[in-house]
Amino acid sequence: MKYLIVGLGNKGNEYENTRHNIGFKVADKIAEILGTPFQITNFGLMAEGKYKGRKVLILKPDTYMNLSGKAVKFWIQKENIPLDKLMIITDDLALPFGTLRMKMKGSDAGHNGLKSIQNELQTQVYPRLRFGISANFSEGRQADYVLGNWTEEEQNKIPERTTQFANACLAFVFSGIQNAMTGFNGK
């Protein structure tokens, strides 16, 4: 069995530690756990490893957030990965900081990366893992907030949270979406 895990974010040093790039941070943690490095490839950086006998591809698209769907579509077609073996990791303003929510389907909720994926795949039915970043910004400042750096308090909690999210993704690979949702949602 083959799985594609995609961490959403924006390429470039100026975005590295922003809230919008939490998908990249979780992807990095998964690759670290599997002991596999990222390589430059089509549409981004890819790490390939095994988890309990299952092949796991970990992608960090270089298309910028708004065009993430192009990278996702390319890789699911190239590797012949069914949508139920795809996991998208993204930030979510509607959830308190660090909250984990895994779902089998759903709307884009105004997230440009998910909008792009939905547009390219022509469906809302694919697994996603949302990392709560909260909505602690004043009206009209959403873009500045998601593209802003973590607070010191948040930054201190990121290592533990990315490990938890990486483990949720690996549970998805090993035991499926329903078991992973039951074991990790809300934690």
Mean pLDDT by 10 residues, the chain (187 residues): 96 92 97 97 97 97 94 97 97 94 92 95 96 84 87 95 97 95 86
Q: Is 111 a catalytic residue?
A: no
Q: What is the pLDDT of residue 115?
A: 95
Q: What is the pLDDT of residue 138?
A: 74
Name the percent of the chain in helix, strand, coil, to the closest 5.
45, 25, 30
Beta-bridged to residue 89, according to DSSP, are 7, 129
139 vs 160: CA distance, rounded Å: 30
Q: What is the pLDDT of residue 80?
A: 97
Active-site residue (options: 7, 18, 20, 45)? 20
Stated as kind and residue range, the H or E segment containing 91 is strand 86-92
The whole-model pTM stands at 0.95
- For 178, counting Cβ atoms within 10 Å of its Cβ (0-12 exposed, 13-18 middle, 19+ buried), the class is exposed
